[in-house]
Amino acid sequence: MNSGETYAKLIKAEAKRLGFISCGISKAEFLEQEAPRLEAWLKKEMHGEMKFMENHFDKRLDPTKLVEGSKSVISLLLNYFPSSFQKDEEAPKISKYAYGTDYHFVIKDKLKQLLNFISEEIGEVHGRAFVDSAPVLDKAWAAKSGLGWIGKNSNLLTQQVGSFYFIAELIVDLDLEYDTPVTDHCGTCTACIDACPTQAIVEPYVVDGSKCISYFTIELKEEIPSSFKNTFDNWMFGCDVCQDVCPWNRFSKPHNEPLFNPKPELLEMTKKDWEEITQEVFSKVFQKSAVKRTKFSGLQRNIDFLKG
């Protein structure tokens, strides 16, 4: 066994110990196939008001421009599928990933531990941890690392656990044994395309971000266009429709990360509770939550929009 193989095994074992459900490794190099796709997507303005998507085009496609001397991209998946859900079926809905503590904090902490482990066990290794907060094409790297395939809803899918997980990376200056991509198992299924309430999946594998409910309820800071009235399927923060209908998510199992458990009152809140929510309740229920991104005023705007 060569050192790259030995180190890869060590890293994967530690990732598992830290609670990640999968770990895959790929060579840090230019993403040739992604470049024209990203360029076309931006040209069609499918990123809407998310102007940050236009920045750092080169870095998005080439990790060696992001982390000097990098040789490997270690991709990791962390399950967030909950064991219990919002009780009132008429209440405005929150995407399952935002039930508990903001994933940025939870995963950053685990990545730091993994990076420290690598330095202690292997020697001086330089690298950076990324959790959805830098110009890194998470899904492309996870697919390249053999952790799943990009589905028709543009999410990473796996046969074993579906798609309810976060993706994160360590980009390091260490040569490792690389994994190979898996094949696409979407077949002729169009469940996600047919179910999307705002028809944001404009063709298989292409999502118009500017039509996505998650975009409207989280990223868009202005008023939501009135032309989308009554198409939100009652989502006030994010949207899980294309994942909920995906046949591969039949295999989703509840996570075992205590920090992702929601505050009990979040699940108990009724439609009336949400419509009458105060700043005080918002601050308490979403103390360390990703929902804070919308701020109280943003969530209120979304709830009012659902009221019609």
Query: Active-site residue 132, yes or no?
Result: yes
Long-range contacts of 272-281, Cβ-Cβ distance < 8 Å, separation of 24 or more: 273/91, 274/91, 274/92, 274/236, 274/303, 275/303, 275/307, 277/303
- Name the residue among 17, 31, 35, 36 with its Cα closest to residue 76: 17
Q: Please give the Cα distance from 274 to 290 (Å, whole number).
A: 17
Coil, helix or strand at residue 59: helix
- Sequence-distant (6+) residues with CB within 8 A of 285 are 263, 265, 266, 269
- Name the residue among 244, 234, 242 with its Cα closest to residue 302: 234
For the chain, state the CA radius of gyration: 20
Pairing of strands 93-94, 235-237: parallel
- Name the residue among 193, 231, 191 with its Cα closest to residue 213: 231
- Sequence-distant (6+) residues with CB within 8 A of 290 are 97, 98, 102, 103, 104
- Rounded alpha-carbon distances, angstroms, from residue 21 to 117, 123, 166, 293: 18, 25, 10, 27
Which listed residue (58, 88, 109, 132) is catalytic?
A: 132
Q: Please give the Cα distance from 87 to 184 (Å, whole number).
A: 35
Q: Please give the Cα distance from 286 to 292 (Å, whole number).
A: 6
Residue 78 φ then ψ, to 5° = -125, 120
Catalytically active residues, by annotation: 132
